[in-house]
Amino acid sequence: MQIANHTLKYGTQARRFDVNHFQNTTIKRIIKKVQDLERAALPAQELEEYNNKVQLVGLDEESSEFICRNTFDHPYPTTKLMWIPDTKGVYPDLLATSGDYLRVWRVGETETRLECLLNNNKNSDFCAPLTSFDWNEVDPYLLGTSSIDTTCTIWGLETGQVLGRVNLVSGHVKTQLIAHDKEVYDIAFSRAGGGRDMFASVGADGSVRMFDLRHLEHSTIIYEDPQHHPLLRLCWNKQDPNYLATMAMDGMEVVILDVRVPCTPVARLNNHRACVNGIAWAPHSSCHICTAADDHQALIWDIQQMPRAIEDPILAYTAEGEINNVQWASTQPDWIAICYNNCLEILRV
């Protein structure tokens, strides 16, 4: 573990914090496991050689350094990785990846094995790439994917006995719907209504749309970008399901929405000086959110004064490169992970 003397700014005050550092020449993004801060999954992409891999990174307690514990091949570049949401630790270590298809992997101590490949396109040799997916936190048998073919697909995992047993994980399509007029770039389940049936999506048509699995005959448009710029990502507030955040392609601001007040942002976070790449709500607070951008900045905002304008973040960290992703540890909220250049850093807030 490298301890670096970086500064985290809080208003006019500054304090020191620890930076745990991992470096690899092919890192593109980072995703943290829900209940385990000591491991991360990173896609290592070498597009020129068509050699795509996923690395599992862990903290070596003896040396206090991050090391690569496992690497496995991936047929196409991954667009997202996500550990099974298992805060109680009752399921095996399952990792899902999206790219050409949705894949679920079983992670062991020495190897990672493909459990199932979920493909809804049985009649063609071609597939519409998946842009993102989400794993339902309330029902881990439920996943949702978004695709460039304008659809969202809800998948149900099936097992003969217990979820994750060897060779017993399979999946089926619960429903597929045309979600947007153009490509769909992200999907995320909401904790509203029990946390199982509500989800939202964003896409190239510049809209945020909400769906209910119990009433799929219609959807609700809760926001449309004024310039019709494509919306790339959305993220639900972990403590208050009335709020979500989204960002536009090449945009330098994050828009905060209240589903009770459709089409009108309740806040705009626009302190970045280059395009925003990542959003992460605090897992333990309804009024804190972290944003990361090409300006090397990871910013933490306090939005409790909404609807009054929020002009400045309360915390700021400057990395040594353009930050392309950020994750806030769910069960250990003192830690935030960022990726930039070929580096992964774990920041203590």
Domain boundaries, the chain: 26-276
Q: What is the pLDDT of residues 21-45, one digit of tens each?
A: 666 644 444 444 433 444 455 555 4
Please state, in angstroms and rounded to a whole number, the distance separating the CA atoms of residues 190 and 185. 17
As a whole number, mean pLDDT of residues 127-154 equals: 95
Q: What is the pLDDT of residues 175-197, one digit of tens each?
A: 999 999 999 999 999 999 899 99
For residue 67, list its beta bridge partners: 58
Closest CA to 267 of 275, 256, 258: 256
Please state, in angstroms and rounded to a whole number, the distance separating the CA atoms of residues 122 and 129. 14
What is the pTM (predicted TM-score) of this model? 0.85
As a whole number, mean pLDDT of residues 331-344 equals: 92
The dotted CATH code for 26-276 is 2.130.10.10
Count each helix (H run) and each strand (E run) in the chain, helices first.
Answer: 0, 30
Q: pLDDT at position 127, please? A: 80
Instruction: Produce one character per residue of 168-190: b if its CB has 16 or more CB atoms within 10 Å, e if not.
Output: ebebeeeebeebbeebbbbbbbb
